[in-house]
């Protein structure tokens, strides 16, 4: 009784809300630095205000200024040529590859012995992307061991030492010699091994690509017709390599984080250094580092630890098994988390629209992609509302059924003993049951069992006058609609909400459904995923970044990154990305 | 955002409250309702009305349940007639013995008997407009004759092409778009015209055919003699008088003309077509006109109205002077006499004769509305309305009372556009018999 | 005020549009047709122009008080008491309107589709929606409004476009309706249809800079004026005058005669979705303003505890009138006649006084500029 009293009191009595730190995605790097320096002066309320205001009213000039100053800060001085001094090279490499933080890069320092002379050298490569044996046998071995052998051609002794190493020492088939740092680094990003030797101003890039091929499988859940057919597997480094293979950008940072006090499961947090918003990266890192649990096994668990709202039916983090999808979202400025032992990567922050998109949208041509999008939205509304609408119309709004259809429904329901709500709940339940059972049944009989079960069940239920045939159509269309939703979790959320709408429709017809839609939209508009409003860019209208939201603009028109992500670099491509079109015109004139 | 656990709690509690409050008040299953598709009103004893409902039986109409297959198994409709002081009291009475609750939202036609219509139907129309379940788009019909004609008409409706009588009504009453022998007389239009100061309402005439078999067919009731013709054309009939026999007994042709809410006269098929032309609602239709050069023959034309008529009203000496110009286009369907009307020089003969034909018809019809019926069916008052600035001036003008004194000037612009597939009629060749 | 939320122009415009245009689907068209006959649409244009002029004056006076809302100005004029008086006037005004509209929405929905349900059941639905949405604050409400407004607009467009086939120009024909006096003098108090504009003067703390207020106000009046005019024009074009002035639910009647072929007839129930959605957003927004103004007027730290009691009071108030006829009388004769007094009258007086005081003070400090 006391408990009950307390419960009632809890519900109706007002309690002062606990001050809760809420993360909101910061707009600009420069602003953020300001905030830090002025932290003591500025109240948190003001900070928030500044942020939200900046979300809506932003001047592009500001943005550009801060963007360029960013680059200066981050990149320091850029080395164009390889230095003669190896320590300088190593320092630069460390900076360039963010070496202590970036976990999958290997920088190996060693000495080459030439005639009692010790020349220090180093090689650098991405772990997981290279074939280790090749490096051992063909690069390290000759340099470290064979360099001391007598060299027959004495004439070359005084010649260029770099030529000597290239021609005589490195016993590898593909070696690129270059003075330019960028060329070497590009090669490293693509699975090469960079070799730097003290005293010479050139470096070698050996092609030792050796990432895992065999274990990389076709995606099982996110199947596309057009586009890459790879999916993640359970090996962390293979997964990072899969992404790196697609992006080939040294600014892509794979920070290592380990989660689980006992398990210390290695995770990799990926982001593109000069695109992703720093505060977003910091927030993801903060959430990841502050998980206190013993063991963690899968990103599915991780998702639940770091998401904003547990009760909200809609997922707030996207889980995907496609490296290309992760890569494309990283280029938008999002952050991905890959976990050892899980073939699903988490990408955050996520907005409502991300769930409506499939990887294929980007790969098929513009008209096809938009057809798919429209179909998908219709499918979503069907899977969410159709049973509810059926109940509402047949119970409250008969007049809007066309006469012929009304008579058909009436005739088919004539012998059914249940009210239509009960009828639809029975069928929906049966459908969910078949779906779940079909999933758990051993794979060879699974799909057949599902289909046959559904068919026989439907057929028999109609024959036995338990449900009306029109209702079977409604349930079946709803089911098909829910399969057309590209995201598994989102489909789940609609499966739950569908029942809510059936109840609401049974209570008050269209009024109930409207009430549900209203409350749902309030709820969704209120939600945030890592500081980004969930319904962005529609919930709060943002200025740009509509090119790939509800409809997809032609690819050459997608110039901006989504505004709500507040990326450091807002442009994806210049105004005219198809330069040939421009030059052609000029030629024509 | 407040303590996080509380939010969903409140939502859930609110839902529970909401659920416990509800009794699903308005919830009615589809199969708990019965849907009449037509309603007929006849005059009853004294002040009451005799109401007939035509009720579709869904299992028969849709062939559902396990009775499916042979759709023609039995009657797809049932009838019930009740005498009651008002529409709703009648419905209440019917509800006591029809097992399911009546739901009037599928009513397609409302039929009034001629007797009732001549007495005035304002109170019934108001009841139908006020009720939420009655559709404003249902069609208004007037059944001709005396006695319980509305019931008689409804019982005679036996659609053969459709299993669903509702569809029959919808199709047959929208056929005016390609026949011109009826009009769109929805209840809402009827009501609007009934209360309007500028125009008068119309309703479609309905009756059942009076001929049992082909030998009985005659054209005694045709209106061709009044029009001074030697033989009846297809428009010279009203519902029930058509020279036809067949399994479909019900007929729809012509219009009932009202003055206020009282029926004052009838239009036959041709007048209905002219009425539609004056309104600009004439779609297309086959119209037969007499051959200008060969008296025994006729020329059937496919006539369309592609432009709205030009209508002008002026007040001369306190009397309205109405000018109408109707634009018609036609395709030739056949030339019985074989005269080469397709040729450039002869086509004008046909055109002017057609113009004359329609002008004569329009003149006769307008004079009839003004002098005989005293009802502005074509709504010329609407043109007059624009000449006033305020509503009071307009109502003080009392158009409805002035209309019978109107003078008319009618002009028809008739153009033949296409001759069909043939460019000239070739005469049949053969030897004349009897000469040898 | 737990959260200082700031939202964009688009959200504000959507909210205000819903705040003003929602009357289109209530009795507004038939009320206009009742008071000006066939010239209801001219009256709407006229009233919109007057409202625009009044608003321009207000925004001119207001320009000296950038970023402040009406309560701050009240405080500027009369200290704490001034603020509380202004707050109470606004709260009572809006509470009165909202409770009447709450009942009106419920009654309309009842007539349209829920003839057997008791009225408190329908009021409960709206009240519940109001409570839940205001609980989450104005931010999600404004965002939802921005998301829903295209759908509502599409619904209205479908109704208007679908009834084009029933248009008849002669229906609006005696062009001045019941006479120019009725329109231009008798129509003056009808400026109350823009009484929702008062909410624009509570937005500044949520908005960025002041210039927006003027622009937003002009935009809102123009758009809603256009929408209202087109809506009533469509209605008058379909229903001739004597008929048009005595329908209880004008737009519902309009949607009832919609027909897209044989299959898409009788689709008016679909518009129930749009209407109850508009009602929910409008009423929630009204509730928020009440609660917000009240808490600010009395310098309360939180407005949330007020939501439940205020919502209960509103729904109780809404159940007081005995019948729909009484409700429509109140709406037509009181709200649409006198609510301009608060929206335009009080605001103008307040702003004028404030402006004078400011000039005086400024004159003293700056030594007469």
The mean pLDDT value for C148-176 works out to: 83
ipTM for the assembly: 0.91
Is residue A360 included in any domain, yes or no?
no
Give A336's pLDDT tier (boundaries 50, 70, 90): very high
Is the domain of A282 the same as that of A375?
A: no
pLDDT at B6: 62
Q: Which of A301, A324, A350 is the last residue of a domain?
A: A350
Is residue A419 included in any domain, yes or no?
yes
Is residue A561 included in any domain, yes or no?
no
Is residue A226 included in any domain, yes or no?
no
- Measured in angstroms, the CA of A477 and the nearest CA of chain B are apart by 21
C265 touches chain A (CB under 8 A): yes
- 3-state SS assignment for residue B143: strand
C230 touches chain A (CB under 8 A): no
Is the domain of B164 the same as that of B113?
A: yes
A20 touches chain B (CB under 8 A): yes
Is the domain of B282 the same as that of B412?
A: yes
Is the domain of A194 the same as that of A272?
A: no
Chain segment B135-190, per-residue pLDDT in tens:
888 888 898 888 888 888 888 887 777 777 888 888 888 888 888 888 888 888 88
| Nearest by CB: A11 against B9, B30, B108 | B9
Is the domain of B254 the same as that of B118?
A: yes
Is the domain of B310 the same as that of B380?
A: yes
Is the domain of A314 the same as that of A415?
A: no
Q: What string of DSSP letters covers A469-495?
A: HHHHHHHHHHHHHHHT-S-HHHHHHHH
pLDDT at A70: 45
SS (H, E, C) B166-232: HHHHHHHHCCHHHHCCCCCCEHHHHHHHHHCCCCCCEEEEEEECCCCCHHHCCCCCCCCCCCCCCCC
Are residues B6 and A11, on separate chains, in Cβ contact within 8 Å?
Answer: yes
Is the domain of A301 the same as that of A266?
A: yes
Is the domain of A65 the same as that of A92?
A: no
Angle formed at CA A484 by CA A482 and CA A489, multiple of 5 degrees: 60
A47 pLDDT higher than 60? no
Is the domain of B313 the same as that of B409?
A: yes
For residue A586, give every residue at least 6 positions away whose Cβ sits within 8 Å of its Cβ, in sequence order, or none: none
pLDDT at A446: 67
Is residue B228 included in any domain, yes or no?
no
Contacts of A406 in chain B (CB under 8 A): 30, 35, 58, 106
What are the residue ranges of helices labelled H in C239-346? Answer: 241-244, 250-256, 268-297, 304-318, 324-329, 336-338, 340
Around Cβ B344, how many Cβ atoms within 10 Å?
Answer: 6
Q: Per the structure block, which two tokens stand in for C208?
A: 């960025």
Are residues C128 and B7, on separate chains, in Cβ contact within 8 Å?
Answer: no
For residue B245, give every residue at least 6 positions away whose Cβ sits within 8 Å of its Cβ, in sequence order, or none: B209, B211, B212, B213, B214, B216, B217
Is residue A306 included in any domain, yes or no?
yes
Is the domain of B297 the same as that of B189?
A: no
For residue C97, give every residue at least 6 positions away whose Cβ sits within 8 Å of its Cβ, in sequence order, or none: C195, C286, C335, C339
Is residue B193 included in any domain, yes or no?
yes
Among A24, A51, A511, A532, most C C-beta atoms within 10 A, so best to mutate, is A511
pLDDT at A65: 44
pLDDT at A59: 42
Q: How far apart are CA C328 and CA C321, in angstroms?
A: 10
> Strand B139-143 to strand B109-113: parallel, antiparallel, or no bridges (unpaired)?
parallel
Q: Which of A188, A207, A226 is the last residue of a domain?
A: A207
The residue written with tokens 């709450």 in the block is C102
pLDDT at A337: 92
Is residue B221 included in any domain, yes or no?
no
pLDDT at A239: 87
- Tell me how many residue pairs between chain A and chain C have CB atoms under 8 A apart: 128
Is the domain of A48 the same as that of A173?
A: no
Lowest mean pLDDT among A239-248, A367-376, A429-438: A429-438
Q: How far apart are CA B114 and CA B43, in angstroms?
A: 9
C210 touches chain B (CB under 8 A): no
Burial C63-84 (b: 16+ CB within 10 A, else e): eebeebbbbbbbbbbbeeebbb
> Strand A528-529 to strand A532-533: parallel, antiparallel, or no bridges (unpaired)?
antiparallel
Q: Which of A166, A192, A207 is the last residue of a domain?
A: A207
Is the domain of A381 the same as that of A527?
A: yes
Q: Which of B267, B297, B316 is the last residue of a domain?
A: B267
Q: What residues of chain A have any CB closer than 8 angstroms to a CB in chain C?
A: 12, 14, 16-17, 45, 48-49, 52-53, 56-57, 393, 396-397, 399-400, 402, 508-515, 517-519, 521-523, 525-526, 533, 535, 538-541
Q: Per the structure block, which two tokens stand in for A392?
A: 């509402």
Is the domain of A188 the same as that of A107?
A: yes
Give B250's pLDDT tier (boundaries 50, 70, 90): confident
Sign of the alpha-carbon torsion through A302, A305, A310, A312: negative
Around Cβ A166, how many Cβ atoms within 10 Å?
Answer: 15
- Tell me how many residue pairs between chain A and chain B have CB atoms under 8 A apart: 107
C253 pLDDT higher than 70? yes
Give A150's pLDDT tier (boundaries 50, 70, 90): low
Is the domain of B350 the same as that of B310?
A: yes
Is residue B253 included in any domain, yes or no?
yes
**Beta partners for residue A107, in sequence order:** A124
| Strand stretches in A429-469, DSSP E | none
Q: Per the structure block, which two tokens stand in for A587?
A: 């030629």
Q: Which of B232, B267, B302 is the last residue of a domain?
A: B267
| C351 in Cβ contact with C69 (< 8 Å) | no
The mean pLDDT value for A321-327 works out to: 89
B205 pLDDT higher than 80? yes
The reported pTM is: 0.83
Is the domain of A144 the same as that of A193?
A: yes
Give C136's pLDDT tier (boundaries 50, 70, 90): confident
Number of domains in chain A: 4
Angle formed at CA C144 by CA C138 and CA C150, multiple of 5 degrees: 140
Is the domain of A284 the same as that of A419?
A: no
Q: Can you give the CATH number for the domain in which B407 is found?
A: 3.30.300.210
Number of domains in chain B: 2
Around Cβ C316, how many Cβ atoms within 10 Å?
Answer: 13
C253 touches chain B (CB under 8 A): yes
Is the domain of B66 the same as that of B125?
A: yes
Is residue A458 included in any domain, yes or no?
yes
What is the Cα gyration radius of chain A?
30
Is the domain of A336 the same as that of A381?
A: no
| A193 in Cβ contact with A110 (< 8 Å) | no
Is residue A15 included in any domain, yes or no?
no
Contacts of A541 in chain C (CB under 8 A): 8, 10-11, 146
Q: How far apart are CA B83 and CA B93, in angstroms?
A: 9
pLDDT at B115: 86
Residue ranges and CATH numbers for the domains of chain C are: 9-366 (1.20.1740.10)
**Which structural domain, as residue segments, surrounds residue A339?**
236-350
Is the domain of B37 the same as that of B184?
A: yes
Is the domain of B263 the same as that of B389?
A: no
Is the domain of B416 the same as that of B304?
A: yes
A66 phi/psi in degrees, rounded to 5: -70, -35
A19 pLDDT higher than 80? no
Q: How far apart are CA A584 and CA A324, in angstroms?
A: 32
Q: Per the structure block, which two tokens stand in for A497?
A: 């909400």
- Give the residue on C whose Cα is nearest the Cα of B23: C117
Are residues A410 and B62, on separate chains, in Cβ contact within 8 Å?
Answer: yes
Give A586's pLDDT tier (boundaries 50, 70, 90): low
- Give the residue on A whose Cα is nearest the Cα of C109: A511
Q: Per the structure block, which two tokens stand in for A472?
A: 């079977």
**Which structural domain, as residue segments, surrounds residue B108?**
30-209+246-267
Is residue B12 included in any domain, yes or no?
no
**Beta partners for residue B288, in sequence order:** B300
Lowest mean pLDDT among A165-169, A500-504, B128-132, C37-41: A165-169
Is residue B434 included in any domain, yes or no?
no
Angle between helices A366-395 and A420-440 (to 10 degrees): 140
Is residue B291 included in any domain, yes or no?
yes
Is the domain of B149 the same as that of B289?
A: no
Closest by Cα among A44, A39, A5, A42 to A21: A44
Mean pLDDT of chain B: 81
Cα atoms in the 13 Å half-sphere on the side-chain side of B392:
6
- Measured in angstroms, the CA of B248 and the nearest CA of chain C are apart by 23
Chain segment A59-109, per-residue pLDDT in tens:
444 444 444 444 444 445 677 888 888 888 888 888 888 888 888 888 888
Are residues A412 and B26, on separate chains, in Cβ contact within 8 Å?
Answer: no
Chain segment B50-102, per-residue pLDDT in tens:
888 888 887 777 664 444 444 444 577 888 888 888 888 888 888 888 888 88
- Tell me how many residue pairs between chain B and chain C have CB atoms under 8 A apart: 94
Q: Which of B267, B302, B317 is the last residue of a domain?
A: B267
Is residue B139 included in any domain, yes or no?
yes
- Give the residue on B whose Cα is nearest the Cα of C135: B7
Q: How far apart are CA A565 and CA A532, in angstroms?
A: 7
Q: What single-letter DSSP state applies at residue A109?
A: E
Is the domain of A326 the same as that of A382?
A: no
């Amino acid at each position: 009784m006391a408990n009950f009293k307390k419960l009632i009191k809890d519900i109706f009595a007002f309690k002062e809300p606990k001050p809760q730190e809420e993360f909101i995605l910061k707009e600009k790097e420069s602003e953020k630095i300001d905030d830090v320096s002025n932290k003591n002066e500025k109240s948190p309320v003001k900070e928030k205000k500044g942020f939200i205001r900046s979300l809506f009213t932003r001047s592009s000039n500001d943005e550009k200024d801060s963007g360029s100053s960013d680059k200066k800060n981050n990149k320091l001085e850029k080395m164009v040529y390889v230095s003669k001094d190896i320590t300088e090279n190593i320092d630069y490499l460390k900076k360039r590859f963010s070496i202590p933080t970036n976990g999958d890069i290997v920088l190996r320092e060693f000495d080459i012995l030439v005639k009692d002379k010790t020349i220090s050298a180093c090689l650098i490569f991405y772990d997981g992307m290279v074939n280790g044996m090749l490096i051992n046998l063909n690069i390290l071995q000759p340099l470290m061991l064979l360099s001391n052998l007598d060299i027959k051609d004495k004439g070359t002794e005084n010649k260029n030492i770099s030529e000597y190493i290239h021609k005589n020492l490195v016993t590898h088939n593909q070696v690129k010699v270059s003075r330019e740092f960028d060329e070497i680094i590009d090669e490293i990003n693509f699975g090469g091994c960079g070799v730097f030797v003290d005293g010479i101003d050139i470096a070698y890039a050996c092609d030792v690509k050796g990432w895992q091929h065999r274990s990389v499988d076709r995606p099982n859940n996110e199947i596309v017709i057009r586009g890459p057919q790879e999916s993640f597997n359970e090996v962390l480094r293979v997964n990072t390599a899969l992404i790196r293979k697609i992006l080939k950008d040294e600014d892509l940072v794979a920070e290592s984080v380990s989660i689980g006090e006992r398990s210390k499961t290695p995770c990799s947090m990926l982001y593109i250094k000069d695109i992703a918003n720093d505060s977003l990266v910091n927030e993801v890192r903060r959430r990841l580092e502050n998980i206190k649990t013993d063991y963690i096994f899968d990103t599915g668990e991780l998702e639940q630890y770091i998401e904003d709202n547990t009760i909200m039916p809609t997922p707030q983090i996207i889980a995907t098994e496609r490296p290309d999808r992760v890569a494309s979202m990283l280029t938008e400025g999002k952050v991905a988390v890959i976990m050892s032992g899980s073939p699903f990567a988490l990408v955050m922050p996520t907005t409502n629209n991300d769930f409506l998109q499939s990887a294929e949208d980007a790969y098929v041509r513009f008209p096809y992609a938009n057809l798919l999008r429209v179909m998908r939205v219709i499918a979503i509304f069907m899977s969410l509302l159709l049973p509810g609408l059926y109940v509402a119309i047949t119970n409250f709004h008969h007049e809007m059924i066309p006469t012929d259809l009304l008579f058909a429904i009436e005739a088919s329901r004539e012998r059914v003993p249940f009210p239509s709500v009960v009828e639809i709940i029975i069928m929906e339940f049966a459908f969910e049951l078949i779906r779940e059972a079909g999933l758990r049944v051993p794979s060879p009989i699974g799909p057949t069992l599902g289909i046959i079960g559904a068919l026989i069940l439907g057929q028999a239920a109609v024959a036995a006058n338990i449900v009306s045939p029109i209702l079977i159509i409604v349930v079946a269309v709803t089911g098909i609609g829910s399969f057309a939703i590209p995201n598994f979790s989102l489909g789940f959320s609609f499966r739950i909400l569908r029942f809510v709408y059936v109840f609401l429709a049974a209570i008050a017809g269209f009024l109930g459904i409207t009430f549900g839609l209203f409350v749902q939209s309030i709820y969704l508009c209120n939600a945030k995923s890592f500081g980004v409003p969930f319904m962005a860019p529609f919930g709060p209208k943002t200025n740009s970044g509509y090119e790939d939201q509800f409809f997809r603009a032609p690819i050459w028109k997608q110039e901006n990154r989504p505004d709500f992500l507040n990326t450091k670099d807002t442009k994806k491509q210049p105004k005219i990305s198809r330069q040939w079109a421009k030059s052609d015109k000029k030629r024509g004139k | 955002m407040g303590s996080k656990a509380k939010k969903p709690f409140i939502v859930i509690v609110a839902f529970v409250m909401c659920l416990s409050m509800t009794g699903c008040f308005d919830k009615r299953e589809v199969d708990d309702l019965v849907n009449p598709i037509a309603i007929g009103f006849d005059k009853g004893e004294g002040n009451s009305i005799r109401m007939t409902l035509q009720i579709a039986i869904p299992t028969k109409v849709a062939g559902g349940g396990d009775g499916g297959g042979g759709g023609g198994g039995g009657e797809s409709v049932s009838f019930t007639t009740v005498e009651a002081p008002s529409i709703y009291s009648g419905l209440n009475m019917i509800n006591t013995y029809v097992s399911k609750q009546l739901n009037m939202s599928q009513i397609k036609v409302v039929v009034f008997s001629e007797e009732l219509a001549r007495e005035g139907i304002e109170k019934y129309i108001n009841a139908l407009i006020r009720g939420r379940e009655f559709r404003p788009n249902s069609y208004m019909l007037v059944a001709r004759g005396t006695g319980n004609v509305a019931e008689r008409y409804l019982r005679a409706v036996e659609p053969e092409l459709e299993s669903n009588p509702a569809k029959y009504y919808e199709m047959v009453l929208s056929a005016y778009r390609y026949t011109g022998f009826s009009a769109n007389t929805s209840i809402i239009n009827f009501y609007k015209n009934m209360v309007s100061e500028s125009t008068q309402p119309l309703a479609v005439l309905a009756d059942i055919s009076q001929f049992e078999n082909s030998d009985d067919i005659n054209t005694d009731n045709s209106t061709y003699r009044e029009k001074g013709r030697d033989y009846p054309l297809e428009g010279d009939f009203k519902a029930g008088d058509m020279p036809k026999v067949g399994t479909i007994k019900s007929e729809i042709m012509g219009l009932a003309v009202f003055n206020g809410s009282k029926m004052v006269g009838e239009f036959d098929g041709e007048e209905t077509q002219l009425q539609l032309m004056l309104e600009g609602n004439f779609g297309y239709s086959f119209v037969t006109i007499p051959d200008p050069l060969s008296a025994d023959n006729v020329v059937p034309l496919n006539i369309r109205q592609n432009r709205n008529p030009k209508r002008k009203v002026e007040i001369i000496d306190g009397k309205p002077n109405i000018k109408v110009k109707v634009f018609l286009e036609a395709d030739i369907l056949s030339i019985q006499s074989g005269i080469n009307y397709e040729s450039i020089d002869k086509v004008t003969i046909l055109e002017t004769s057609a113009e004359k034909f329609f002008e004569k018809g329009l003149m006769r019809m307008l004079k009839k509305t003004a002098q005989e019926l005293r009802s502005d069916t074509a709504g010329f008052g609407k043109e007059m309305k624009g000449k006033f600035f305020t509503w009071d001036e307009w109502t003080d003008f009392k158009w409805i009372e002035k209309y019978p004194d109107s003078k008319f000037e009618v002009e028809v612009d008739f153009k033949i556009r296409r001759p069909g597939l043939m460019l000239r009629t070739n005469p049949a060749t053969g030897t004349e018999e009897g000469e040898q | 005020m737990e959260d200082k939320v700031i939202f964009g122009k688009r959200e504000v415009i959507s909210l205000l549009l819903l705040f003003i245009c929602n009357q289109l689907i209530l009795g507004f068209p038939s009320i206009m047709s009742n008071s000006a006959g066939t010239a209801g649409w001219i009256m709407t244009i006229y009233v919109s122009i007057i409202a625009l002029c009044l608003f321009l004056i207000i925004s001119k006076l207001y320009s000296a008080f950038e970023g402040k809302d009406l309560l701050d100005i009240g405080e500027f004029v009369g200290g704490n008491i001034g603020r509380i008086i202004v707050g109470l006037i606004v709260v009572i005004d809006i509470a009165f309107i909202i409770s009447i509209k709450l009942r009106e929405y419920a009654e309309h929905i009842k007539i349209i589709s829920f003839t057997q349900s008791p009225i408190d059941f329908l009021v409960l639905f709206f009240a519940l929606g109001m409570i839940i949405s205001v609980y989450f604050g104005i931010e999600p409400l404004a965002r939802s409004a921005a998301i829903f407004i295209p759908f509502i607009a599409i619904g209205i467009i479908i109704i208007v476009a679908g009834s084009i086939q029933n248009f008849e120009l002669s229906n609006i024909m005696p062009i001045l309706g019941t006479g120019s006096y009725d329109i231009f003098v008798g129509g003056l108090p009808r400026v109350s249809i823009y009484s929702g504009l008062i909410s624009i003067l509570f937005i500044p703390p949520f908005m960025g800079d002041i210039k927006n207020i003027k622009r937003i106000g002009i935009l809102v009046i123009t758009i809603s004026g256009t929408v209202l005019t087109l809506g009533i024009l469509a209605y008058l074009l379909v229903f001739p005058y004597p008929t048009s002035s005595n329908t209880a639910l004008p737009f519902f009647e309009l949607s009832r005669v919609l027909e897209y072929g044989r299959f898409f007839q009788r689709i008016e129930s679909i518009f129930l979705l749009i209407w109850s959605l508009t009602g929910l957003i409008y009423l929630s927004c009204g509730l928020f303003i009440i609660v917000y103004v009240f808490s600010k007027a009395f310098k309360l730290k939180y407005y949330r505890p007020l939501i439940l009691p205020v919502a209960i009071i509103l729904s109780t108030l809404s159940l007081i009138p005995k019948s729909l006829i009484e409700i429509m009388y109140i709406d037509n004769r009181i709200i649409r006649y006198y609510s301009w007094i608060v929206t335009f009258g009080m605001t103008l007086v307040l702003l004028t006084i404030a402006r004078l005081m400011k000039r005086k003070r400024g004159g003293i400090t700056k030594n007469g500029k």
